[in-house]
Amino acid sequence: MPKAEPARPATPSADGPVALLIDPPAAAWAGLLERGVSLSGSRPEAAAFRKALGLPTDRPVVMSGHQCAIQHPGILAKRLAATAFASRTGAAHAWLWVDQDDNEPTRIDLPTRSLDGRLQRTAWKLDAGPIPAGTPTGSRPALQKVERPDFEAVGVREGAAETIARAIETHAGEASLARQFAGACDDLLTSSVGEREPGGVSVFAGSLHATEAFASLLERMLDDPVACVRAYNEAESAHPEAEIRPLIANEKSGRFELPLWRVRRGEPRMPVFAGQAKGIEREQLSPRGLLMTGLMRMLGCDLFIHGTGGGKYDRVTEAWFASWLGVELAPAVVVSATLRLSLGAGPTPTEAEVAEARQFAHKARHDPSVVGDRVAAERKAELLGEIERRKEAGEDPAPLYREMHALLEEYRSRYAGAIAEMESEAERLASALDGASVAGARDWAFALHEARRIEALRAEIDRAYAEA
């Protein structure tokens, strides 16, 4: 496989580097798309599947996707890459919204500073109500009103929080929280980089149950759950780097966990087992991650764009579908990007420096030599030696312990300022390290970045495919 596209320098208008990952390089994608077309062309059911989802059937489809939320630039890069590549090849580009996931889009982290000036992350909770744990975004109602943050963010686009809130409220009439955030994300992207080429299609994973392809796979699972689950778990075991949990499989009891979720409006999603699946209405069933991308790569697209995480876990999907169904999936590629806010954290200490400063401050409370008090240090050493001697002789060392503690108390009082200064320095370095991790974060919502930074990201992606 060709080497990944190297990280590219930012355009001159950017404030910092735009690190872009394209693996394999953009020049290799045309051949991969051709391969994907040849695979889907041999499956007549692909046209019916795409038509059912509103996907084009007269040209290749380049697809990517993610959970329903205001995404960070690394995820946004996948969408921009799909658009850029499709526009140069005559393909269609589509985005798969993963609305059966129970992610929490109503919490957006913002960079703030504490009262002592420390850089930190603070959660902006858009919904004042309780968070329904485990409930998919596609099963939750849209927000009618977005709670504004009651604190000030730093280093973000002016008015970013209000812009995000209004974009979400504009879609308050959507049928679900998932569709609301999908619409808001589209609007925020348009406001950042302007109108893109028409033809992009949105697909929601929660609608896959309505396709005949899903029904066919479900029937196959129920006819022989052992084969399905065994192939899944063998693929998982062969790729530990993917960090995928195996499905529950107990041949003695006949308890087999299927790669499905049961989803009902306003309720947490539930795992599905083979013995109960026949009693569940099909519209309540949604594919889990590997089944979802496997189905889309088998029938729904000719090239799939993953992020770095998906690039790992979908190796399991490929091995599973090959073993269980005997099919090869459309090629997958990886795109990601790192874009950081300009937060100005200052010089960054290392973890080792922080640990050393803390150890030094701790030692200063117990070792007078740290501050240069040789007399106290020597007396403490004498007392320790005498304590050990008395222990060995079976004598009572308690009076000497009391004398040593009194010595240290007097020493700490005399050098309280110096010791406090060392402790303060240790905390300062720790705060600087924490602030650096906040400043170096790459997962801030893309709408918090200046529009020209998102435009710089798009320009880098466009240039990669133009040069290819």
Q: What is the structure's pLDDT at 1?
A: 43
Q: Is a pLDDT exceeding 90 seen at residue 423?
A: no
Q: Helix (H, G, I), strand (E, B), or coil: what is residue 268?
A: coil
Structure-block tokens of residue 222: 């129920």
Domain boundaries, the chain: 1-343+442-468, 351-438
pLDDT digits (tens, 9 = 90+) for 285-315: 999 999 999 999 999 999 999 999 999 999 9
More confident residue, 270 or 114: 270
Q: Does residue 198 register a pLDDT over 70? A: no
CB 224 within 8 A of CB 107: no
Q: What is the pLDDT of residues 357-397, one digit of tens each?
A: 889 889 989 999 988 999 999 999 999 999 999 999 999 98
d(CA 386, CA 400): 8
Tell me the pLDDT tens digit for each residue of 50-77.
999 999 999 999 999 999 999 999 999 9
> Residue 193: its pLDDT value, please?
78
Chain-wide mean pLDDT for the chain? 90
Residues 378/371, Cβ–Cβ less than 8 Å:
no
The CA-atom distances, in angstroms, between 361 and each of 56, 369, 459 are 66, 12, 49
Q: Residue 16's pLDDT is what?
A: 58
Model pLDDT, residue 14: 37
Dump pLDDT digits (tens) for 73-107: 999 999 999 999 999 999 999 999 999 999 999 99
Q: Per CATH, which fold does 1-343+442-468 belong to?
A: Rossmann fold (3.40.50)
Q: Is 232 a residue whose pLDDT tops 90? A: yes
3-state secondary structure of 2: coil
| Strand intervals (E) in 188-296 | 201-204, 249-250, 255-262, 270-273, 285-287
pLDDT band of residue 429 (cuts 50, 70, 90) is confident
Higher pLDDT, 346 or 282: 282
Question: Would you state the structure tokens that stand for residue 242, as one six-digit string?
Answer: 């993917």
Note the pLDDT tens digit of each residue in 305-345. 999 999 999 999 999 999 999 999 999 999 999 999 988 75
pTM: 0.82
Give the model's pLDDT for residue 461. Answer: 95
